[in-house]
Amino acid sequence: MMALAIAAGAALLAGTAMSTMAAKEDRVATDVGKSRRHMDYKNGVFKVRAGGGGSVAPLTQFYPPVANIKVGETVVWYNPTRVAEPHTVTFFKDPAMFAPIEQPYLISNSTAVKPLAPGNSDAFTFPGPQGATAMLGANARAYNVAVIDGDGKASYLPPNTQYAMRGSEQYLNSGFIWPEGQAPEGLPPVTSFSVKFEQAGTYDYVCAIHPWMTGQVVVK
């Protein structure tokens, strides 16, 4: 009898867990459906959701995937995900300008790299050219709000900035866009990214973290 009771209790817990997960999945599906039907576009501002969902099924898509606007109007991206899952909005004309999240770097002044904070970590170093030491590190142009203009000049912009896109930029990146209040300590607290489009054209963009996550702005 005790074994039957234990088995019944386990089945009940499993059923409850499955029901809870199913309910979460239903909420995610409902959110997706609403975002696809609803277009937040008024007073010359078009809002795009970067991701969504929660821990059970975080979404890696832009909604709507295409923003049709007029010259001089603005697109605002924000991240409504219920967990700390970041996304970027990254424009580039030449694939060679894509900024990977991590890159190899030469260490010119020292061969010793120590963790800044305690914990289970160690720098990934490897032999570089001509006996130098190289390491794999985070790419600031992927994590931060950054732009490379038509002349090749790179610069960084403040978090949550509004940028005026001229159409000649080689690279423009939002930085990691976090859900409100979820940016980890030490990283730029980016929660939105606004771009005013000053020239007609079609502007394709991707999420540098999830490269299959793509979007487009069509300006007429």
Residue 179 DSSP code: P
Q: Which pLDDT value is given to residue 49?
A: 97
Neighbours of 13 (CB within 10 A): 10
User: pTM for the full model?
Assistant: 0.79
Alpha helices by DSSP H, listed for 95-203, are: 140-143
The sign of the CA dihedral 20, 81, 91, 101 is negative
Q: Provide the phi-psi class of 150: left if phi over 0, else alpha when psi is between -120 and 50, else beta.
A: alpha
Contact present, 61 and 51 (Cβ < 8 Å): yes
User: Cα 177 to the chain's mean position, in Å?
Assistant: 5
pLDDT in tens, the chain (220 residues): 434 344 444 444 444 444 444 444 445 444 544 444 568 999 999 999 999 998 887 899 999 999 999 999 999 999 999 999 999 999 999 999 999 999 998 887 766 777 877 788 888 888 888 888 898 899 999 999 999 999 999 999 999 989 999 999 999 999 999 999 999 988 899 999 999 999 999 999 999 999 999 999 999 9
User: How far is CA 158 from each of CA 19, 189, 190, rounded to the nearest angstrom?
Assistant: 44, 10, 9
Domain 39-102+137-219 = CATH 2.60.40.420: yes
Rounded CA-CA distance 71/88 in Å is 23
